[in-house]
Amino acid sequence: MSKRFPTNGRVIFHVDMNSFYASVEAAYNPDLKGKPLAIAGNPEQRKGIIITSSYEARAKGVKTTMPLWQAKELCPGLRVLTPNFDRYREASSQMFQILAEITPFVQPVSIDEGYMDITECAELGTPVEIAEMIQQKIKNELDLPCSIGIAPNKFLAKMASDMKKPMGITVLRKRELPTKLWPMPINEMYGVGEKTADKLRKIDINTIGDLAKADSYHLKHLLGINGERLQNRANGYDPRPVDPEAVSDFKSIGNSQTLPYDTTDEREIEALLHSLSEKVAERMKRKSVVSENIQVMIRYHDRKTITRSNQLHDYVELSEDIFHIASTLFFANWNGKPIRLLGVTAQHLTEKEEMTKQLDLFTYENEAKNEKLYDVVSQLSDKYGKNIFKKNKSYENKSSVSTSFQKDFLDDYKTKKKK
């Protein structure tokens, strides 16, 4: 797979930003580069907790969740900063924009990591060449390091990205499992926490290889369905697709198409944009969602790729509305050169019937202040039914839609217009 694309199967990347918060701070203030640095909840108090730390601090024994006083004892020269979440969101948004320029099949799973399915990107080079291009682009444009795992599925890609940090690129093939994966301690397997690892050690499963070869019946008896799932992954089986529409922290619906030949014919381009808009609208209809942000992807004959998006003042769902926005975006940003690929994506989706409320690290404090209010709402809902506060289904303009509390850490990527 490092030499060329496989004739069948998938090519999955796991892109993992290295020591993300600390790296963003060092990029913002170069004086911090090469210094032991930690981000802590409250640096003014010794009882603060380490959120993350630079590799220089980790070399001194500083670890995530460690009390600040202990970290300073281990590393007297430790520089400690309070978290700047706006700065991290902006860096995350820019990083995911870079990934989206390669393929529309990007699935963020947290603020600093995500999966990519590059199976259809052979024209950009070999998998390793594409990984090197992504890694250097993120480093050159954002001054941030990342590691990339390359594998035929998500689990193996995730394991591969952890094998070499920082700035590593690791290929993990199924035939390499006995030598690269199986010798690893069971607690280093993604998806195995300390409690599960303790249970497995009690039945002499100490390595990932032990898990791969274990008796399936005993595993299922010990861990239930999760035992079967973990054993499958230990053997390199993970059928989960890279899903840009996954509920976890990111929602979008997009379609792209590579043209059979490069073209500058405006009629052909408009026809393709209209077709892509219809496909997006049909998928939105099936999922019963509306969009506040439309994005177009343009890949030129020389492989240069740009994405441009428009944050809307109203929700859209009809194909003609999507097409109008997409075509306006295209012709405002097209440089007139031959086009190889076009994509249309609806972002910042909202369910018609119910706005989903999502809590995360950045909104928890504000939400905690409203806890008493939510208790009252819960009590009334229990007594009178769950729909007593539901707004009218109409979504023709924002005033008729219940307020969306959704504000996860990938909101910038979903809504911000790339300039």
Stretch 70-99: mean pLDDT, rounded?
93
How high is the pLDDT of residue 42? 66
- 277 backbone dihedrals φ, ψ, rounded to 5°: -65, -40
- Please indicate, yes or no, whether residues 159 and 204 belong to a single structural domain of this protein: no
112-149: pLDDT as tens digits: 999 999 999 999 999 999 999 999 999 999 999 999 99
Contact between residue 184 and residue 197 where contact means Cβ atoms under 8 Å apart = no
Residues 27 and 150 in one domain: no
pLDDT at position 4: 67
Question: Any residues with CB less than 8 A from the CB of 142 and at least 6 apart, and which?
Answer: 27, 91, 94, 95, 98
With CA atoms as reference, report the closest residue to 160 among 370, 30, 16.
Answer: 16
pLDDT for residue 237 is more than 80: yes
Q: What are 272-306's pLDDT values in tens digits?
A: 999 999 999 999 888 878 888 899 999 998 888 99
Res 263 pLDDT > 90:
yes
- 5-56 pLDDT, tens digit each: 776 789 999 999 999 999 999 999 999 999 999 998 766 655 678 889 999 9
Element (H, E) at 220: helix 216-223
What percent of the chain stands above pLDDT 70? 79
Range with lowest mean pLDDT among 59-68, 72-81, 104-113, 402-411: 402-411
* Shared domain check, 203 and 105: no
Secondary structure of residue 20 in the 3-state scheme: helix
Answer yes or no: do 371 and 412 share one domain.
yes
- Is 266 among the catalytic positions? no
Q: Which domain holds residue 215?
A: 180-234
Task: Indicate if 286 and 335 belong to the same structural domain.
Answer: yes
**Confidence check: pLDDT of 417 > 90:** no
Quick one: which H or E segment has residue 415? helix 411-415
Domain limit, last residue, from 48, 70, 85? 85
Residue 2 lies in a domain: no
Whether residue 401 sits in one domain with residue 263: yes
Q: Tell me: do 392 and 281 sit in the same domain.
A: yes
Model confidence at 371: pLDDT above 60: no
Residues in the annotated binding site: 16, 112
Same domain, 296 and 404: yes
> What proportion of the chain, given as a percentage, has pLDDT over 90?
59
Instruction: Tell me phi and psi for residue 14, to 5 degrees.
Output: -115, 115
Tell me which of 3 and 31 has the higher pLDDT.
Answer: 31
Beta bridge partners of residue 80, listed in sequence order: 38
Domain annotation covers residue 6: no
Whole-number pLDDT of residue 390: 41
The mean pLDDT of 201-229, rounded to a whole number, is 93
Q: With a cut of 50, say whether residue 360 has pLDDT above it.
A: no
Whether 133 and 62 share a structural domain: no
Please tell me the predicted confidence (pLDDT) of residue 92: 93
- Residue among 25, 113, 292, 317 flagged as catalytic: 113
Q: Indicate the average pLDDT of the chain.
A: 82
305 phi-psi bin (left φ>0, alpha ψ -120 to 50, beta other): beta
Q: How confident is the model at residue 376 (pLDDT cuts 50, 70, 90)?
A: low
Binding residues for Mg(2+): 16, 112
| Listed residues 135, 162, 177: the one ending a domain | 177
CA distance 186 to 61: 22
Number of structural domains found in the chain: 4
Q: Quick one: pLDDT at residue 354?
A: 40
Please check the confidence at residue 385 and state whether its pLDDT lies above 90.
Answer: no
Q: Tell me, what amino acid is at 107?
A: Q
> Is there a domain that residue 345 lies in?
yes
Q: Is 242 inside a domain boundary? A: no
Domain final position from 85, 110, 131: 85
- Signed CA dihedral, 177, 180, 186, 187: sign only: negative
